[in-house]
Every structure is written in structure tokens, then in C-alpha cells.
Amino acid sequence: AKDRGKQCMARYEPDMDLHSIEEARLGAQLRHAIDAGEMRLVYQPIVELPHGRIVGVEALVRWQHPQHGVVSPGLFVPVAERNGLIVPLGEWILREACRQAARWRDLPGTRSLRKISVNVSARQLREPDFAATVAGILHETGLEPHRLVVEVTETAVFDGGAALDSVWALHRLGVSIALDDFGTGHSSLGLLRTCPADILKVDKSFVDEVTAGDQDVIAAALIQIASGLHLQATAEGVETADQAEHLHRLGYRFAQGYHFGRPMAAENITELLQAASKA
Ligand code: C2E
Ligand code: CA
Ligand code: CA
Ligand code: CA
């Protein structure tokens, strides 16, 4: 057992070094990515059940890396959070998303689309002037605050402090607050007392259970909590018609997932909206 421990150590250390070298390289490339125009946003429909009309979109960032192709945010967002680049990157994302939302608002045949959701990291929320930055972007892009949803995770705001202050300041601006991946953090329910949430995004892990016989207890309990507190609930990661139907039966009004649409370019969202408005 001792030998094995040694072997593990011997294998672990070089990995760590490689990892930190790669992280530093990725971080440096990330620094240039925005200016180089390698970042873009895709948009995933958020629909109303049962008909599936698109009432919102979630903006999701993609990095078109010159060598590696499309890099997933699951990979580079944590790097950007650690080296602080998420602050300027997040600002770019917000501006781009608000600009696009204002464009949709002014196009014909897109009226069903009411809101755009943008993910915001704890690191951004902890910037003392974050809400002022958002107010500036709304002003600059001409987007009304009620058309913007800021998605925050429970872990980002549960320790109170500056992050929670920012959430309150956004709420006072009239921006909606969604608790992302709801139910997966440590403080989900307690947080509903201190955080001015408007929307609960029920995590995919609970949605996955929805068709498995009577395994849907958590999804069922969460919609009860949401409606008891007059919050909207959006089911995340809906992949089948069967899940959508069960969620609707449980009382869910909003859903998002591959069943309704993958994240896609803005023009594709426009086409879907305009096609539905003519139908
Ligand atoms: P998230 O905010 O929970 O976003 C949902 C993720 O689930 C997205 O992955 C989306 O493509 C994926 N998804 C949606 N529907 C389905 C489905 O039916 N099945 C499955 N298997 N997956 C589905 P994505 O775009 O790779 O983003 C991953 C995470 O990266 C996001 O999780 C979010 O935490 C972070 N992220 C993405 N864009 C941004 C951003 O602009 N800013 C920040 N701070 N974080 C971002
Ligand atoms: Ca999200
Ligand atoms: Ca989520
Ligand atoms: Ca997630």
C-alpha cells in the first residue's frame, strides 16, 4: 500500500505541473481572445410549456480557439475565474448579450421573446461596482432592465458579503435574478430568505429523474416551493418529450434543454422566432 501511495505521488506531481503550465498558457491565450474576436455567444431557447413557445434565451459563451477549435466554457470559465479575466470577459459577455437582446426587441416577429439570461460568476459579483457596470451596459445598449436576467449560483451568494450586495443592487435596478443549478448547493432553501430571487433554475440532475417512476420527488417539491414563494421555476436540461410532459403535469411552466433547442447562433434564434410568429 505504501508503494502504491508513492507511485500515486510520483504520477501526481508531473500532472500537477503540466496542469499549471497548461493553465498558464490557456490563461495567456484567453487574455488575447476577446480582442482577437475569438469569443462568441450562443443562445439556448427557454420555452413555455406545454406549447414550447420561446419566451427567453440563455446566453452561453464559446471560445473559437485558433488551434483547439471550440473550447467549452466548462474548461475556460474556471481558468478565467481563477486569474480574474472573468471580470473583463464577463463584461464583454453582458454587453454582447444586451446588444443582441435589444436587436431582437426591435426586429419584427420576435415578440414572444421577453428576456435574456446571462451567467455571472461570483468573482464578477464581488466587484464592488458590478451593479453600476450593468446599469451602464443597459444604458449604452438601450435594453430595459426587466429584459435582463442575471443567473447566479447558490455558492456565489450564500456567504453573503459583496456578492449578495451586488445581487440586491441588481434587483433594485429592476434586473431579474435566477438561482442557477438550484438544489445542488449547500444552502438552497435558506438562501431564499436572504437573496432576492425571481427564478429558480431547477438543476438537470432533478429533471433527469422526472420520468423514472416516482423518482421525481425533488422536482415535484421544488415546484411547490417556487410557487409557494411566488417564484418562477425553469426546468433545466430537458431532453425528452416525456420529461417535458411530466414536468408540465407537475406544474412547471418554463423549460430549457436539448429537447427544445440546443445553444445556437443568434440568427438561428431569430429564424425560429419569426417562423413561430407566422405559424
Ligand atoms: P449552466 O449555466 O448550467 O448552463 C447550462 C449548460 O447545460 C450549458 O452548457 C448547456 O449547453 C447545457 N445544456 C443545456 N441543455 C442541455 C440538455 O438538455 N442536456 C445536456 N446534457 N446539457 C444541456 P455549456 O454552454 O457548456 O456551459 C457550461 C457551464 O459554463 C454553464 O452551466 C455555466 O456555468 C458556464 N458558462 C457558460 N457560459 C457562461 C458565461 O457566459 N459566463 C459564465 N460566468 N459562465 C458561463
Ligand atoms: Ca446558467
Ligand atoms: Ca444551470
Ligand atoms: Ca451548471
181 lines ligand 1 (CB under 6 A): yes
pLDDT at res. 9: 47
- Reference 193, options 151, 152, 160, 150; nearest CA is 160
C-alpha of residue 74 to centroid of ligand 1, in Å: 8
C-alpha cell at 205: 440532475
Considering only CA atoms, which residue is closest to atom 3 of ligand 1?
Answer: 181
For ligand 4, an ion, list residues with CB under 5 A.
181
Distance CA 107, CA 271 (A): 11
Please choose, from the candidates 198, 250, 260, 202, the residue with its C-alpha nearest in 3D space to the C-alpha of residue 53.
260
Cβ(77) to ligand 1 under 6 A? Answer: yes
- Closest ligand 1 atom, residue 151 Cα: 2
Nearest to 152 by CA among 171, 133, 132: 171
CA distance 201 to 225: 12
Confidence tier at 190 by pLDDT (50, 70, 90): confident
> Is the distance from the beta carbon of residue 257 to the nearest atom of ligand 1 less than 6 Å?
yes
Q: How far is CA 272 from CA 97, 104, 115, 179, in A?
A: 18, 12, 16, 27
Q: In angstroms, what is the span from residue 87 Cα to ligand 3's centroid?
A: 20
Confirm or reject: Cβ of 12 under 6 Å from ligand 1: no
Of 15-24, 105-114, 193-202, least confident by mean pLDDT is 15-24
**Per-residue pLDDT tens for 122-176?**
999 999 999 999 999 999 999 999 999 999 998 888 777 999 999 999 999 999 9
Prior bond of 66 cis (ω within 30°): no
Alpha carbons 150 and 119: distance in angstroms, whole number? 6
Residues, beta carbon < 5 Å, ion ligand 2: 119, 151, 180
Q: Which atom of ligand 1 is nearest to the CA of 41?
A: 41
CA of 263, closest atom in ligand 1: 11
Cα torsion 165, 171, 177, 179: sign: positive
Please indicate whether residue 50, judged by its CB atom, sits closer than 6 Å to ligand 1. Answer: no
Residue whose C-alpha cell is 436587436: 103
User: What is the predicted pLDDT for the residue at 16?
Assistant: 55
What number is the ipTM of this complex?
A: 0.98
Stretch (H or E) spanning 150: strand 148-153
Using one digit for the tens of pLDDT, what is the confidence trace for 206-236?
999 998 677 789 999 999 999 999 999 999 9
